[in-house]
Amino acid sequence: MSMICNRSRLSSSLIKRLKYEIAVITDHRSFTTSEGHRPAIVKKRSIDILHDPWFNKGTAFSMTERDRLDLRGLLPPNVMTIEQQIERFMADLRRLETETKDGPSDPNALAKWRILNRLHDRNETMYYKVLIANIEEYAPIVYTPTVGLVCQNYCGLYRRPRGMYFSSADRGEMMSMVYNWPAEQVDMIVVTDGSRILGLGDLGIQGIGIAIGKLDLYVAAAGINPQRVLPVMIDVGTNNEKLFKNPLYLGLQEYRLDGEDYLAVIDEFMEAVFTRWPNVIVQFEDFQTKWAFNLLQRYRHIYRMFNDDVQGTAGVAVAGLLGAVRAQGRPMIDFPKQKIVVAGAGRCTCFFFSLTWSRFL
C-alpha cells in the first residue's frame, strides 16, 4: 500500500514538473541581463523584476536593460554603479544602525540585522556584495551570536518568506511541494527542526533563522550561488510552553512528534528533495542530540548529507589536535600516544572520540 502511495505522489509531482517546464518553454518573454557578472535569463518584466530580490538591481539597471525589461520610467533616471549603491547604503547603515532600535531592549546588533535583512529582501546582489566586503564585521550579525537573538524573536521580526517550510501537517504532500520552489537547481540545503538551536533549546519554527544565516555565510565566504541554496524548516511541533502561549507564533502549536511518526516526516522530506534535486547536499543543523546521531546513521550511506554539529565540529577539533602534534615537531604517527582531556560529554564530544578512535587509535 505504501508503495502505491509513493508512486502516486511521484506521478503527481512529475505531472506538475512537466506542466512547469511546458510553461517555461512556451513563455517567449525572456530577456538576458547581467547578474553577478554572468548572463542570466529573466522571465519577468516591469515592476515584477523590481519586486524580485534575485534579479532586482535597482538603479544599477543600464538604460539598455531598462528598455528591454520595460523598466524605463519605473526608476530614477540616473544609472548608478553597484559601488555607488553600496556607498549610499553603507552611509545609511552607519547612521541608522543605532537609530532604528525598537526601544532600549533592542540591542545594536539586532538593529544592524534588521537593516541588512531589509536589503536582503529587496536586492540580493547588493546584500551579498556588502556582506563579502565587510565579512569580519557582519558575519557575527548574520550568524552567531546575533542569529540566536533573531531566532528567539523571529515571529516578531518576520516580514516576508525566505526558504521553505515543511510540517507534519504536510505528510503525503512533500513530493509535490518541492516543485513550488522556483529554482530548477539547488546545490545546498540547510535544514533544521528547531529542536536545539545553539544553546537556546527548542525554538520551534523560529529556528529557520539558523538555516538562513548559515547559508548566507556559505554564499559570502564560500562563493556558492545564492540562487542555488535553500534554507528549510521542518516543523514537527514544539515542546516550548512559551510558544504554546504566544498567539503570534507562526508554527504548529502542538507537541513534537517522536518515534516512528517523526522519522516518517523526515523520510518523506529527504525522498522529496532528492527526487527533484538528486545532486543536492543536505546539511542537518541544530537537531537535538538523540535525533542528530540517529538521522546521521539513517541517511549517511543513502543520501549526500552530513550533520555539521556532529561531524563538522568534531572534524575541526581533530584538525586542531593534529596541528598540535605537528607544532611539537613530532610525526603524525605519535598522535595515538597523546593524552587528550575533554571537558563535557555532548554530542560533538561523543563523535570526536568516535572519529579519533576509529581513524587514529
Q: Which residues are catalytic?
A: 143, 214
What is the Cα 129 distance to its own chain's centre? 18
Residues 171/205, Cβ–Cβ less than 8 Å = no
Q: Are 113 and 143 in contact (CB under 8 A)?
A: no
Identify the three-state secondary structure at position 34.
Answer: strand
Which candidate, 298, 223, 242, places its Cα nearest to that of 265? 298
Find out whether 305 and 299 touch, Cβ atoms under 8 Å.
Answer: yes
Q: How many residues does the chain have?
A: 361
Residue 282, beta-bridge partner list = 189, 305
Q: In one letter, which amino acid is 132?
A: I
- Long-range contacts made by residues 217-226, C-beta under 8 angstroms, separation at least 24? 217/139, 217/142, 217/143, 218/188, 219/128, 219/131, 220/128, 220/131, 220/132, 220/135, 220/139, 221/135, 221/139, 224/187, 224/188, 225/36, 225/187, 226/54, 226/124, 226/128
Cβ atoms of residues 237 and 256 within 8 Å: yes
166 three-state secondary structure = strand
DSSP per residue over 338-356, as a string? Answer: S--------HHHHHHHHHH
* Whole-number Å distance between alpha carbons of 101 and 235: 30
CA-CA distance, 191 to 308, in Å (whole number)? Answer: 11
